[in-house]
Structure 1
Amino acid sequence: MTERDTTRQVEQAQTAALRLANVEESDRNAALGAIADAIRDNSDAILAANREDVAEAETLLADGEYTQALVDRLKLDEAKLDDIAGMVESVAAQDDPLGKTLDARELDAALELYKLSVPIGVVATIFESRPDALVQIAALALKSGNAVILKGGSEALESNRILYETILSATADLPDGWATLIEAHEEVDRLLELDDMVDLVMPRGSSEFVSYIESNTQIPVLGHTEGICHVYVDEAADLEMAEDIALDAKVQYPAVCNAVETLLVDRSVAEAFLPSVVERYRAEGVELRGDEATQEYVDIDPATEDDWSTEYGDLELSIKVVDGLYAAIDHINTYGSKHTEAIVTDDAATAETFMTGVDAASVFHNASTRFADGYRYGLGAEVGISTGKIHARGPVGLEGLTTYKYYLEGDGQLVATYAGEDAVPFTHESFDGEWNPGHRTRE
């Protein structure tokens, strides 16, 4: 595809975004319902396309080019497709994020300022092997009134194509160009140059990949990087609960970014805790590495410095014994990716110190890191999990795909009235009220 083709697609997305912002919520919800139905109805063709991708991926896995975790993220089945369709319906069931009056303020009598939620506009996403990511992102973009440009990984090429075609066929009544699929790296490079047309780019991948995107565009970037997540077992932990949480956080689905990669254990409970939890990990096939202190209590392979900053994405785990709460916090803030961290403790003050002292988008007390998810948070779905601190943080759902604008309702007022020696003072009084086009609330 030529640079002109990519530019034309983005121009079409710009036009679609302006029109989609004015599509009624009922119509957006109906389109989402149609997408869910189409995914279920087209399941045979979707799964056939996915099998092609998986077969190719397994060949590359055998050659050592792909990891098992990547192949696992790629696979679809009937149950997964039904979950994807249910996710789309969950997005439709969310409150409309658009047109909310976030603030209302009287500047003077019959001069009222309203702050309203609106779509961002044109958002571009670049994501990895999970085909369900394409559907999640498209559904959230549609519900929030944004046009979306989708770039999936080459390993999911056939799956992404048919899912995209299924979505478009179900949304024929929406503005042309509201969703666009691009595939070539050249298209991404051209896209990143179009900072006057694209309002936000959301890459999902490694820190190096996100840094590359940030360095090669002037478009605002909302990055979803790796998840180097920790569970810290405190001296006041219920050790049976701690075992269950540590196990769930690793083995329930090890290929995802909210799975735990390092287990931190307070030295005072290491002897009582480690042998049992290691036995349970081994029963689940987890490959374990530990620091010297951990090896005093259990017979496992040594951990290296690199292990503390590695996202395994597989049944692998590093373990470190720490000397107290602040040592755990320091380790996490040094090696963590600001994604999701958890503490297991029965001491509320210790939990508070940990949760306020750890720098992460999500911090949990007595719960598995695997809860860090847009659907589980009640957001319907997520575009990704932002580990930054600007605009949106943690699972990015509908609210993260909106911005705001100010509407001013007046009655012929002039700035000159409020300037000079005889200036009329502003009232600047906040009030409860919803914007009503052409009307003022406090008449």
Structure 2
Amino acid sequence: MSLTNATPEAAAKAAKSASHILATLPASARNDALTAIHAALSDAKDEILHANARDLELARKAAADGQLKDSLVSRLDLGKKGKWEDMLKGILDVRDLPDPVGKITLRTRLDDGLLLERVTAPIGVLLIIFEARPEVIANIASLAIKSGNAAILKGGKESTESFVAISRTISAALAGTKVPNGAVQLVTTRDAIAGLLDQDRHIDLVIPRGSNELVRYIKTNTKIPVLGHADGICHSYLTADVDEKTAVDVVVDSKTSYPAACNSLETLLVQDKALNTVFPAVADALLAKGVELRCDGPSKAALSGKQGNIVDVKQEDYDTEHLSLTLSIKTVSSLEEAVEHINEHGSHHTDTILTSDKELAERFMDAVDSAGVYWNASSRFADGMRYGFGTEVGISTNKIHARGPVGLEGLMIYKYKIRGQGHVTSVYGEGEGQRRFKHETLRLEDGH
């Protein structure tokens, strides 16, 4: 890894060159690099957290002055309970996953002595532009190296001290490995984003990690494919027949365990039959956690006389990613109405249903057009580490090759290999005397 103030074109060219070397390294060399990164970060914990504290001090002042969102400050805090440990664990989890490079996914005998194989291959060069989250550097570096992809990272100014400290640590660790220096770069040049987004000849995929404003800016200012999501407007549909404890536990976890996360619950859809049964208990639990409930008429009436922060919802609230202890609530009469609302107002991220009816749950999960659809489970499970991916580069709501939490598999494409013995196309056809293809499907073999 290198800290670079090179021009965007120079950085992109260096990454492309390094990607060709990285893609051919054996799995053992890539795994050794992750072991070295983990050890170096563990040893440098105090130094990195001190750097992060300096970023936090400035960020809190900026938030107090209205120059920075509180949700960004929360995401910046690397010392938050469990975050440092999760970052380090993610590196080892990725290291210990099977090698994703060179896996055979299709084998066909086209003819005698003519074999076609489809094998997994790295995408090439990834550009990751992120705000606030300093752990992204370790996450991306681990996934990129394991998957054989080069990566260019550009962080926001609010996390400068943190990502410089982390990058220097990773750079020193990689110096003793076979991973080329240009394979993972942290660009420190100011105002480099526009220039990097122009490098479609050398950069193969952009992954934004940050606000919807950042993601929308990137999507409208580059020819490079973009993987990611602009918003995390997650819903839960609360039905009347769900077990009360299940409903309370799941909704409270979805909303309050980390309100600034993109997989946090933002809108609760309440079946009208649940307004006077399970909903009041759910509302009580949320109010006890300090959640502001923005209610429509029927749901507010069902909470009449309750103490807490209960206000009238506005229509725009249903299209808002609050990223705070604020929850929009809407009453619906049926599954169909709930699904229609989610597909119209949601962000295709993660949506859940709370019900005891298996058939209803399956209909919901089939009908909702989102990357993640859950039954009686918290929306906070939308996470690469919780899915067993080790960690993730982000969550994709796009309808491309990768959707949902994107781990190693989402950073792979494929190539076709043909092994022949002097075969030529001119002898094949339907005419007299021409050869016919066999197109015989063969069993996939383990290994490369």
TM-score normalised to structure 1 length: 0.95
Counterpart in the other structure of 1:6 = 8
- Tell me the amino acid that sits aligned with residue 264 of structure 2: A
**1:293 lines up with 2:293 in the alignment:** no
- 2:209 aligns with one of 196, 204, 207: 204
2:438 corresponds to which letter in structure 1?
Answer: T
Shift of 1:168: 1.2
Match of 1:225 in 2: 230
1:422 deviates by 2.0
Letter in 2 for 1:276: A
Separation of aligned partners in 1, 2:131 and 2:279: 35
The residue matched to 2:387 in structure 1 has which SS? coil
Q: Please tell me whether residue 57 in structure 1 is matched to residue 67 in structure 2.
A: no
Per-residue CA distance 1:163-195 (angstroms, 9 max, x = gap): 111111111131120011124463111111111
Q: 2: distance between equivalents of 1:281 and 1:214?
A: 36
Partner SS state of residue 213, structure 1 = helix
1:378 corresponds, among 384, 388, 393, to 388
**Is 1:31 aligned to 2:42, yes or no?**
no
Q: Distance in 2 between matches of 1:238 and 1:275?
A: 13
Which residue of the other structure, out of 266, 277, 281, is the alignment partner of 1:276? 281
Tell me the distance in 1 between the aligned counterparts of 2:251 and 2:324.
15
Q: Does the CA contact (< 8 Å) of 1:3 and 1:187 recur in 2?
A: no
Q: How many residue pairs end up in the alignment?
A: 437
Alignment of 1:41-440 (within 5 A): 41-77=43-79, 79-172=82-175, 173=177, 174-184=179-189, 186-299=191-304, 300-419=310-429, 421-434=432-445
- The one-character-per-residue Cα deviations of 1:129-152 (angstroms, maximum 9, x if unpaired) are 111112111110110000001112
Give the direction of change, closer, same or farther, for the CA distance of 1:325–1:401 in structure 2 (3 Å limit). same
Equivalent position SS for 2:302: coil
The amino acid that maps onto 1:161 is V
**Matches of 1:54 and 1:4 in 2, distance apart?**
28
Amino acid in structure 1 at the alignment position of 2:256: V
- Mean Cα deviation higher: 178-187 or 153-162: 178-187
Q: CA contact under 8 A between 1:35 and 1:85: conserved in structure 2? A: no
Change beyond 3 A, Cα 1:162–1:189: same
- Comparing 354-363 and 411-420, the one that deviates more: 411-420
Q: Residue 52 and residue 2 in structure 1: after superposition, are their counterparts in 2 closer, same or farther (change >3 A)?
A: closer
User: 1:205·1:224 contact (CA, 8 Å) conserved in 2?
Assistant: no
Contact 1:228/1:261, CA 8 A, preserved across alignment: yes
SS of match in other structure, 2:200:
coil
SS at match of 1:150: strand
Give the letter for the 2:85 counterpart.
D
Counterpart for residue 440 of structure 1: none
Question: Greater CA deviation, 60-69 or 146-155?
Answer: 60-69
Name the CA distance, whole Å, in 1 between partners of 2:263 and 2:186.
27
Identity %: 45
Asked if the contact 2:256/2:289 (under 8 Å) is kept, the reply is yes
- Name the CA shift for 1:2/1:130 in 2 (closer, same or farther; >3 Å): closer
Q: Secondary structure, in 3 states, of the residue corresponding to 1:98?
A: coil
Q: Deviations over 1:229-272 (max 9, x none)?
A: 01111132112211111101001111100010011111101112
- Please report the RMSD computed on the Cα atoms of aligned residues, expressed in angstroms: 1.8
CA distance, structure 1, for counterparts of residue 338 and residue 438 of structure 2: 51
- Partner of residue 17, structure 2: 15
**Cα distance, 1:341 vs. partner?**
0.3
SS in structure 1 opposite 2:192? Answer: helix
Q: Does the aligned pair in 2 maintain the 1:228–1:309 contact within 8 Å?
A: yes
SS in 1 for 2:294: strand
Shift of 1:3: 10
Within 2, Cα distance between the matches of 1:184 and 1:319? 44
Q: Amino acid of the residue matched to residue 143 of structure 1?
A: K
Amino acid at match of 2:397: T
How far apart in 1 are the matches of 2:425 and 2:104? 25
Amino acid paired to 1:432: R
The answer to whether the 8 Å contact 1:40/1:82 transfers is no
Which is further off, 123-132 or 177-186?
177-186
Secondary structure of residue in 1 paired with 2:290? coil
- The one-letter amino acid paired with 1:290 is C
1:42 to 1:3, Cα distance in 2 relative to 1, 3 A? closer
